Amino acid sequence: MTSADNPFTPFLEAQGVLILDGGLATALEARGKDLNDPLWSAKVLIEDPEAIRAVHEAYLRAGADCIATASYQATLPGFRERGMSHEGAVELLRLSVRLAVEARDAFWADPANRVGRLKPLVAGSVGPYGAWLADGSEYRGEYGMWRDELADFHRERWEILAGSEADILACETIPSGPEVKAVLGLLQETPGAWAWISMSCRDRSHLSDGTPLVEVARACDAAAGVAAVGVNCVPPRWVPDLVAELRRGTRKPVLAYPNSGEVWDSATRTWTGVATGAAIDVAIDGAIEVAIDVDWGASAAEWHRLGAAGVGGCCRVGPEAIARMRGHLLDGARRGHGPREAP
């Protein structure tokens, strides 16, 4: 596997930056979905899959080059605890990919959407062990589990997503050194698969469990099949330092897709912190999005200048923010100098 095979390479060569999507749950809640459930956004796979397809479409229209499937919290144990059969749980995982692929293909079928764009990617989202626990552990990483135990937990879902139509796997919000090693081991078990590895952090230089970020960046740099190394669901103000730490440890593309800067309270299951202003009507798809005191366009441009090859958003970051990122980085600053129209 070479860098030329990396699914991100065509985007970075053609336009210099990759625009990721934003929070799936955020956009679902904006459409009135109640996600106060251990399955979180994955419960919508059961109840209203068309709402997930609509969110994917909204992010594509906003300018995302890559959309992540609704499988972050869609674990086989989680579905079985809901009373589903093993076969039914597996089918829901496959459905998460199918919804994203169908949304992408429908978007791409319209010639107007191809102007200045490359065909968007579908990433099979692999959330951490802590997402299944549904107690905020993905922001602590204090599992008390070894690498092999974590690999066993992830393996079947990993193999299903790796064998699907997804273009790449997105290992997201990984909070601990052992879990990074676990997913890197699974990547080596699936030759030909590509994945990005993105971590949650406790500060500007350490994973949530205290492992130095530069240490895991070096481990990712040495592993075949790692398309990019990143951080997500961190405060925007930490991103410049985190990007610098990642660049110290890897020559691979670096990703940054922070949350809004608010803090998740696992006891009350609410976000608290820096949100400002009232809810606003977002121009894209008429969704409602909370106004956050972040200039997403200018911030994304700064992160890109500092070395982030891919930018996007996580929790509480919706389609409007992604549109501003693309507008600032590509549609505005590079108007007339973007990628050629795809054939």
Residues 312-327: tens digit of each pLDDT: 999 989 999 999 999 9
Residue 263's pLDDT band (cuts 50, 70, 90): low
The mean per-residue pLDDT over the stretch 93-110 comes to 97
pTM comes to: 0.88
Spatial CB neighbours of 106, under 8 Å, sequence gap ≥ 6: 57
Domain housing 78: 3-260+275-332
> Rounded to the nearest 5°, which phi and psi values hold at 194?
-115, 145
Residue 286: its pLDDT value, please?
40
Residue 262: its pLDDT value, please?
59
Residue 105: its pLDDT value, please?
98
Count CB atoms within 10 A of the CB of residue 136: 14
In-domain check, residue 266: no
Q: Give tens-digit pLDDT for 324-343.
A: 999 999 976 454 333 333 32
Give the residue, 251 or 84, on which the prediction is more confident.
251
User: What is the C-alpha radius of gyration for the chain, rounded to an integer number of angstroms?
Assistant: 18
Give the residue, 307 or 340, on which the prediction is more confident.
307
| Strands, E assignment, the chain | 18-19, 66-68, 121-126, 168-174, 195-199, 226-232, 254-257, 263-265, 270-272, 275-281, 288-292, 310-311
CA dihedral of residues 9, 15, 17, 18 (deg, nearest 10): -70
In-domain check, residue 303: yes
In-domain check, residue 222: yes
In-domain check, residue 324: yes
The mean per-residue pLDDT over the stretch 130-146 comes to 81
Residue 41: its pLDDT value, please?
77
Q: Is 60 helix (H, G, I), strand (E, B) or coil?
A: helix
Residue 254: its pLDDT value, please?
98
When mean pLDDT is compared across 16-20, 27-31, 165-169, 212-216, the lowest value belongs to: 27-31
Q: Which two tokens stand for residue 55?
A: 């969110």
In-domain check, residue 220: yes
Helix (H) or strand (E) holding 191: none
Q: Give tens-digit pLDDT for 217-250.
A: 999 999 999 999 999 999 999 999 999 999 999 9
Please give the distance of CA 244 from its chain centroid, rounded to a whole number. Answer: 20
Here the CATH number for the domain that contains residue 134 is 3.20.20.330
In-domain check, residue 79: yes
Q: Which two tokens stand for residue 234?
A: 């961190």
Residue 273: its pLDDT value, please?
53
Q: Using an 8 Å Cβ cutoff, are 211 and 218 in contact?
A: no
Q: Give tens-digit pLDDT for 141-166.
A: 888 888 999 999 999 999 999 999 99
Residue 287: its pLDDT value, please?
40
In-domain check, residue 115: yes
**For residue 255, pLDDT beyond 70:** yes
**For residue 290, pLDDT beyond 70:** no
**For residue 185, pLDDT beyond 50:** yes
Residue 133: its pLDDT value, please?
80
**For residue 264, pLDDT beyond 80:** no
Rounded to an integer, what distance in angstroms lies between the CA atom of residue 326 and that of residue 330? Answer: 5
Rounded to an integer, what distance in angstroms lies between the CA atom of residue 213 and that of residue 63? Answer: 30
Split into its structural domains, the chain has a count of 1
Residue 332: its pLDDT value, please?
60
pLDDT over 90 percentage in the chain: 70
Residue 77: its pLDDT value, please?
87
**For residue 178, pLDDT beyond 90:** yes
In-domain check, residue 268: no
**For residue 295, pLDDT beyond 80:** yes
